[in-house]
């Protein structure tokens, strides 16, 4: 395949990637955007395989078949509740690929065509290689830690120690010095020292992050994986990989910034890995407090006689796989003449868009789903706020209590509804480890049960 045809094909695939991102920006067009992205990736892969630089089709085709089979099996078996840790695991593979490609280029630069006229590795290639190694290693180890926290293999609580930020800063400065040194001296010991420290710093910037901040972590690691892929693209001199890496990196960074604003976090503290520790510390023990408990029949009676019901999905919905039952309940309420809409907090769940995906899977109409900024003022005029496991993002302490660890984080103002029906397994604190004052308000009725079971019982009562 000629260089001109290859360049044109890469241009087409890059345009499809951009259109895919545009499509994914709205639930109504996300399926079309996903298809465009798949087509763009297929074009890029076919063009790359047909490149004259490929000398071993057996390895390439074998890798595609093996990787595709593994991906297909995982996609079929993965539960929606495990999607965040799956995303984190896939990010780690991108980071590891960047490190391995850089190592291969370092030990066999002639195969990559990155030698200068005198037979030495070019300075530009050394810089690209260093950046790819550092970002890739940080992405790998950071994603592994995020995976273990989300999977429950280790505690989701922040891990801190005295002088942690100074240690991170010192390691960062040493990595920078090694990158500069590597550009001058191609000693393998410098290469591997730089790589090892990058793995360590990736580990250190994620361990102090608490569970409540994991959606931002997943988004930020997504950005890191994009920049790692772009680094691979420079090493491989593959324009499509550079473009798609830059798209993923920049869009992930923008999404992280939006989510930081939604959680009242500093964007730069996310990049430096220094956030989450304070927010994930549980508040003081307030002892046993009286709450109002209700049944499915109570909830059905209240909602059937309501004029407007706002449904607020949270991680508990994903755990119980109750999205289809919830949509059925909403349909029954609409048949009874009730105005039903859905309110989603930007960081509800364990990854960006988690709740949107759940509701889309249950075929909830897109025009009934609203984000925090669009819906928050409507709670004051709603008869019922029906909350399913959305704990921390509905805690009024974030708005009213300056002493709360999550004070300042924008929340859904569900407590302003006339009645709050809160579905939860128990009265325990949420993922951030903070007791929710909403549970004990006079207008709140706790529906303590598995979300799917409770919603199905409400539907039967309706």
Give the three-state DSSP class for 115.
strand
Rounded Cα distance between 219 and 266, Å, is 14
Rounded Cα distance between 179 and 48, Å, is 30
Q: Where are the alpha helices (DSSP H) in 50-82?
A: 57-77
Q: Which of 360, 324, 305, 291 is nearest to 455 (CA)?
A: 324
Q: Crossing angle for the helix pair 188-206 and 123-151, nearest 10 degrees?
A: 30
Q: Which of 437, 344, 441, 435 is nearest to 396 (CA)?
A: 437
CB 280 within 8 A of CB 207: no
Q: How many helices (H) and strands (E) does the chain have?
A: 18, 6
Q: What backbone torsions phi and psi does residue 369 show, to the nearest 5 degrees?
A: -105, 125
CB 430 within 8 A of CB 303: no
Which residue among the candidates 392, 415, 435, 437 is catalytic per the annotation?
392
All residues at 6 or more sequence positions from 6 whose CB lies less than 8 Å from its CB, including other chains: 47, 51
Q: What backbone torsions phi and psi does residue 386 show, to the nearest 5 degrees?
A: -105, 105
Q: How many Å is the maximal CA-CA distance in the chain?
A: 83
Rounded Cα distance between 376 and 312, Å, is 11
User: Would residue 278 show up in a list of annotated catalytic residues for this protein?
Assistant: no
Residue with tokens 């491989």: 236
* The two three-digit tokens of residue 9, written as one number: 């094909």
Catalytic positions, please?
A: 392
């Amino acid at each position: 395949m000629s260089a001109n045809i290859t360049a044109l094909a890469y241009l087409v695939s890059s345009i499809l990637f951009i259109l895919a991102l545009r499509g994914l920006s709205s639930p109504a067009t996300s399926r079309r955007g996903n298809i465009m992205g798949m087509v763009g990736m297929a074009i890029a892969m076919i063009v790359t395989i047909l490149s004259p630089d490929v000398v071993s089709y057996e390895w390439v085709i074998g890798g595609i078949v093996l990787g595709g089979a593994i991906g297909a099996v995982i996609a079929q078996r993965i539960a929606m509740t495990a999607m965040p840790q799956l995303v984190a695991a896939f990010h780690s593979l991108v980071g590891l690929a960047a490190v391995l490609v850089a190592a291969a280029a370092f030990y066999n630069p002639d195969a990559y065509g990155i030698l200068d006229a005198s037979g030495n590795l070019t300075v530009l290639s050394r810089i690209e290689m260093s950046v790819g190694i550092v970002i890739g290693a940080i992405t790998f180890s950071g994603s592994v830690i995020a995976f273990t926290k989300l999977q429950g293999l280790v505690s989701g609580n922040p891990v801190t120690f005295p002088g942690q930020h100074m240690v991170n800063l010192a390691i960062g400065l040493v990595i920078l010095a090694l990158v500069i040194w590597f550009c001058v001296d191609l000693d393998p010991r410098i290469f591997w020292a730089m790589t090892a420290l990058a793995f360590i710093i990736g580990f250190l910037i994620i361990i102090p992050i608490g569970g409540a901040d994991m959606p931002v972590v997943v988004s930020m690691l997504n950005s890191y994986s994009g920049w790692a892929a772009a680094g691979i693209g420079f090493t491989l001199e593959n324009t499509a990989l550079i473009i798609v890496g830059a798209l993923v990196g920049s869009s992930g960074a923008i999404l992280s910034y939006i989510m930081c604003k939604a959680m009242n976090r500093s964007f730069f503290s996310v990049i430096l890995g220094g956030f989450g520790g304070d927010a994930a510390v549980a508040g003081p023990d307030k002892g046993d407090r009286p709450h109002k408990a209700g049944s499915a029949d109570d909830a059905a009676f209240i909602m059937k006689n309501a004029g407007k019901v706002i449904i607020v999905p949270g991680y508990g919905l994903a755990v119980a796989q109750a999205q289809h039952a919830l949509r059925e309940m909403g349909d029954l309420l609409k048949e009874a003449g009730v105005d039903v809409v859905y309110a989603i907090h930007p960081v509800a769940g364990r990854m960006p868009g988690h709740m949107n995906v759940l509701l889309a899977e249950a075929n909830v109409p897109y025009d009934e789903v609203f984000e925090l900024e669009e819906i928050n003022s409507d709670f004051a005029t709603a008869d019922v706020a029906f909350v399913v496991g959305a704990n921390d993002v509905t805690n009024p302490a974030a708005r009213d209590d300056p002493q709360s660890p999550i004070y300042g984080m924008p929340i859904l103002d569900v407590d302003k509804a006339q009645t709050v029906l809160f579905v939860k397994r128990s009265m325990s604190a949420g993922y951030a480890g903070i007791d929710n004052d909403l549970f004990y308000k006079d207008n709140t009725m706790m529906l303590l049960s598995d979300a799917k079971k409770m919603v199905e019982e409400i539907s039967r009562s309706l």
